[in-house]
With several copies, the nearest count.
Chain A
Amino acid sequence: METTPWDPEGAAALLDAEGRLVDGATLGSLDARAYYKQLVEARSLDLRLGRLGLPMWAPAAGEEAPLVAMARIADEAEWIFGGGRDAAIALARGMTPQELVFRVSGREGRDRPGHVSSTALKIGAGTDALAMHLAIAAGYAHGEDKGRAVFASCGEGSSTTAAFTETLALAASCTLPMVIVVRSQLWPNGAPAEAGVLGDSVADRARSCGLWARRVDGADPVAVHNTIASAAQRARQGRGPGVVDVVVTPQLHDPPAHRDPIERLRRFLDSRGEWSSTFEDVVEADIRSQLDNAVTALETASQSGGAS
Chain B
Amino acid sequence: MTVLEDLAARLADLLRDDDRRVLLGEDVADGGMLGLSKDVVADEALRERALSTPLTPTVLAAHAAGLAMAGRHPIVVLPGVEALLEGLAGLRDAAAWSWRSDDGVSTPLCFIAPCGPGLGLGGAATEAVEAVLARVSGLNVLCAGQAEEAGAWLRAAVEHAASEGPTVLLLPRTLLLSAPRGPLAHDLGRSAAASHRVRDGGRVTVFAWGAALDVALDAVTQTGVDAAVVDVGCLAPLDLSTLQAEARATGRLVIVHAGPRAGGVGAELSAHFADAAILHLDAPVLRVTGADAPVRPSDEGDAIPTVARVAEAITRSASY
Contact = CB atoms under 8 A, between A and B. Distances in A.
Q: Taking the complex as a whole, does A directly touch B, i.e. does some CB pair lie under 8 Å apart?
A: yes
B54 interface: yes
Interface in A172-211: 173-174, 192-196, 198
A174 B90 CA distance: 19
A107 B298 CA distance: 7
Interface in B77-118: 82, 85-86, 89-90, 92-94, 96-97, 99-105
Given A135-B62, A194-B26, A130 B67 contact: no
Contacts of A120: 103
A132 B92 CA distance: 10
Contact of B100 (A108, A110, A135, A160): A110
B27 A194 contact: yes
26 contacts: A56-B121, A106-B120, A110-B102, A110-B297, A118-B103, A119-B103, A119-B105, A127-B90, A128-B82, A129-B85, A130-B86, A135-B90, A136-B94, A139-B63, A139-B69, A140-B67, A140-B70, A141-B66, A142-B66, A143-B69, A162-B57, A162-B58, A170-B56, A170-B63, A173-B53, A196-B55
Contacts, number: 177
A137 interface: yes
A113 B93 contact: no
Most buried by B among A125, A135, A166, A194: A135
B68 interface: yes
Contacts of A112: 121-123, 297
Contacts of B69: 136, 139-140, 143
Nearest to A117: B101
B62 A136 contact: yes
Interface of B: 22, 26-27, 29-30, 51-59, 62-72, 74, 82, 85-86, 89-90, 92-94, 96-97, 99-105, 119-124, 294, 296-299
Most buried by B among A120, A140, A173: A140
B92 A307 contact: no
B219 to A, nearest CB: 25
A118 to B, nearest CB: 8
A136 B103 CA distance: 18
Contacts of B68: 139, 143
A95 to B, nearest CB: 13
Interface of A: 55-56, 106-113, 117-120, 125, 127-130, 132-144, 157-158, 160-163, 166-167, 169-170, 173-174, 192-196, 198, 307
A144 B104 CA distance: 19
Contact of B29 (A56, A130, A192): A192
A161 B101 contact: no
B320 to A, nearest CB: 36
A135 B57 CA distance: 11
A127 B299 CA distance: 18
B66 A138 contact: yes
Contacts of B26: 193-194
Most buried by A among B29, B71, B94, B298: B298
A162 B105 CA distance: 26
Contacts of A107: 298
B27 A113 contact: no
A56 B119 contact: yes
Contacts of A160: 54-56
Contact of A55 (B53, B93, B119): B119
A175 to B, nearest CB: 11
A129 B129 CA distance: 14
A129 B103 CA distance: 22
A107 B64 CA distance: 30
A132 B96 contact: no
Contacts of A193: 26-27, 29, 52-54
Contacts of A137: 66
B66 A139 contact: yes
Given A113-B121, A132-B62, A192-B52, A143 B100 contact: no
Which 3 A-B pairs have CB atoms at the shortest separation, nearest pair first? Answer: A139-B66, A143-B70, A135-B59
A142 B54 contact: no
A113 B297 contact: yes
B56 A128 contact: no
A163 B90 CA distance: 9
Contacts of A140: 66-67, 69-70
A167 B100 CA distance: 22
B158 to A, nearest CB: 16
